[in-house]
Structure 1
């Protein structure tokens, strides 16, 4: 009896994956500009600091205006009663504080994400950076 013939063994030829070949960047990545403390790197960092300061000052203004107007509100005759004052101070102020704080955190995170997107080298694969 003749043995069944097995199909020929297939060989797989592999090479270096196309995504791993790395071309030198056409420009100097901003991360190196920052780590080398060049003028351009200082400008990047100053820009981030300015945008974070602007977000903080806007949050401060959004809190300072209502708090500064509260004493004027309490001078009105309709707010002369004690319980209404305590309701405004004890209950209504905190949601305003929370909303302003939440908005500030979202803006600060967006500023940092924009900065990170600006300074990262998009030719590098994502993942933890090696100290080099």
Structure 2
């Protein structure tokens, strides 16, 4: 026969739980170096306000230009196929050209737009960082 003992006092949580640590950016091999510029936003003067405003304008300009290019190119594809019916008869690799143009082409194009947008934004931020550090 087995003897079972019970503990009459319930277990209490630790009086002081260990503090959690916050990891912001792990150092990984091959990772790009991230530059950080700290600006005291509470003590903004007119110069730092103008610099931030110029960064926002540059980022907005980049986004609008790339959105316009993407909209024009992707919007022109169906219009082109509608008004040039001879393109519907073309069959590269046995697949109708409209299927390729509307179903395959947009994806690499959108990836390219995203890549260009990221590069443009990083360049704007790098220029902003250089201005602030001067």
TM-score by length of 1: 0.61
Q: CA deviation at 1:105?
A: 0.5
Deviation at 1:37, TM superposition (A): 1.6
Separation of aligned partners in 2, 1:35 and 1:99: 38
- In the alignment, which residue of structure 1 is the partner of 2:4? none
Q: 1:88 aligns with which of 101, 105, 109?
A: 101
Q: Is 1:68 equivalent to 2:81 in the alignment? A: no
Q: Which runs of 4+ in 1 moved over 3 A?
A: none
Q: Does the 8 Å contact 1:48/1:115 carry over to 2? A: yes
- Larger deviation, residues 76-85 vs 64-73: 76-85
**Alpha-carbon offset, residue 71 of structure 1:** 2.2
| TM-score of the superposed pair, with normalisation by structure 2 | 0.60
Per-residue CA shift, 1:20-78, capped at 9, x if unaligned? xxxxxxxxxx945x551211111010000000001101110110111221222111112
Larger RCO (CA within 8 A; separation ≥ 6)? 1
Cα deviation digits, residues 70-129 of structure 1 (max 9, x gap): 2221111123358221111121121211111111100100100111111126xxxxxxxx
| Uncovered stretches (5+) of structure 1, i.e. residues with no partner | 1-29, 122-132
Cα-Cα RMSD? 2.1
Does structure 2 retain, via aligned residues, the 8 Å contact 1:55–1:104?
Answer: yes
Report the count of equivalent residues. Answer: 91
Q: 2:119 aligns with which of 91, 98, 106?
A: 106
Other-structure match for 2:63? 56
Query: Quick one: which of 21, 35, 46 aligns to 1:39?
Result: 46
